[in-house]
């Protein structure tokens, strides 16, 4: 059985059919990710409808400009919901720079604070911002409520820096791409008990569906690739990543 630890279910079309295919491909649980307050509300409603779907609440770095007292109170309120298992996704994105660095950092650190207060892990998006991210995480000291670096795209040396701070590393369909040798090397070497797998649906569909809308049933391709590079069975990777997600999100 598999867990898709990161999917934007409310952004998917034909969701009943998507969830049926996920069930047929042994996806046991899905963590459905929010990017702002409206998507949080929709995601919680979806999680309430399906017992195997869990929700998050937070502001994506692309939405960092929306951070204000009202937004903070909204995330704080949603974090009390029984189906909410994490804060996020949040973090830093210096590639698109939809908000200035200071605005992104403020939004991110406020959400870290909420994660600590609610004892919820934080789902972290980081793109072209590892230096600032690592400095913030060291300063904030999140040992009691760590989180996951979602859709990791770095090398093993970068992964080790996050692992040393207690974070999990999550691999997406990017690990299946032809030019992702460095990422596969990281997947080969990080401790198995600190690894998650995800789809980031509807984005980043893995080979052999690259370029098409992604969906939770495709998380099996991520597991297959990691199993191959580690010289392990698919079942071993599926069980380990399932156990890790259940531990991190307490689901």
Domain of residue 228, CATH code: 3.20.20.140
pLDDT(177) > 90 = yes
Instruction: Quote the pLDDT of residue 196.
Output: 98
The parent domain of residue 63 ranges over 2-249
pLDDT at 143 over 90: no
Secondary structure in 3-state letters for the chain: CEEEEEECHHHCCCHHHHHHHHHHCCEEEEEECCCCHHHHHHHHHHHHHCCCEEEEECCCHHHHHHCCHHHHHHHHHHCCCCCEEEEEEEEEECCCCCCCHHHHHHHHHHHHHHHHHHCCCEEEEEECCHHHHHHHHHHHCCCCCCEEECCCCCCHHHHHHHHHCCCEEEECHHHHCCCCHHHHHHHHHCCHHHEEECCCECCCCCCCCCCCCCCHHHHHHHHHHHHHHHCCCHHHHHHHHHHHHHHHHCC
Q: What is the pLDDT of residues 87-122, one digit of tens each?
A: 999 999 999 999 999 999 999 999 999 999 999 999
Q: What is the pTM of this model?
A: 0.97
Tens digits of residue pLDDT in 19-77: 999 999 999 999 999 999 999 999 999 999 999 999 999 999 999 999 999 999 999 99
Over the stretch 19-34, which tens digit does the pLDDT of each residue have?
999 999 999 999 999 9
pLDDT digits (tens, 9 = 90+) for 128-140: 999 999 999 999 9
| Count: domains in the chain | 1
Residue 199: its pLDDT value, please?
A: 98
């Amino acid at each position: 059985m598999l867990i898709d630890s990161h999917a934007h279910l409310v952004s998917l079309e034909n969701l009943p059919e998507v969830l049926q295919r996920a069930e047929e491909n042994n996806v046991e649980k899905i963590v459905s990710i929010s990017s702002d307050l409206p998507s949080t509300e929709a995601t919680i409603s979806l999680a309430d409808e399906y017992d195997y779907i869990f929700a998050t609440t937070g502001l994506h770095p692309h939405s960092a400009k929306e951070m204000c007292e009202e937004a903070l109170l909204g995330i704080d309120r949603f974090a009390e919901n029984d189906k909410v298992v994490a804060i996020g996704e949040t973090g830093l994105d210096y590639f698109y720079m939809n908000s200035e660095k200071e605005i992104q950092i403020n939004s991110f650190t406020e959400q870290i604070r909420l994660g600590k207060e609610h004892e919820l892990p934080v789902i972290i998006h980081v793109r072209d911002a590892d230096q600032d991210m690592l400095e913030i995480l060291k300063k904030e000291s999140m040992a009691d409520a760590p989180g996951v670096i979602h859709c990791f795209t770095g090398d093993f040396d970068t992964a080790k820096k996050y692992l040393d701070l207690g974070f999990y590393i999550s691999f997406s369909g990017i690990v299946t791409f032809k030019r992702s040798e460095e990422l596969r090397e990281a997947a080969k070497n990080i401790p198995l008990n600190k690894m998650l797998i995800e789809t980031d649906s509807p984005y980043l569909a893995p080979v052999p569906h690259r370029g098409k809308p992604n969906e939770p049933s495709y998380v099996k391709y991520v597991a297959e690739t990691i199993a191959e590079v580690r010289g392990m069975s698919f079942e071993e990777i599926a069980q380990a990543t399932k156990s890790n997600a259940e531990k991190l999100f307490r689901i």
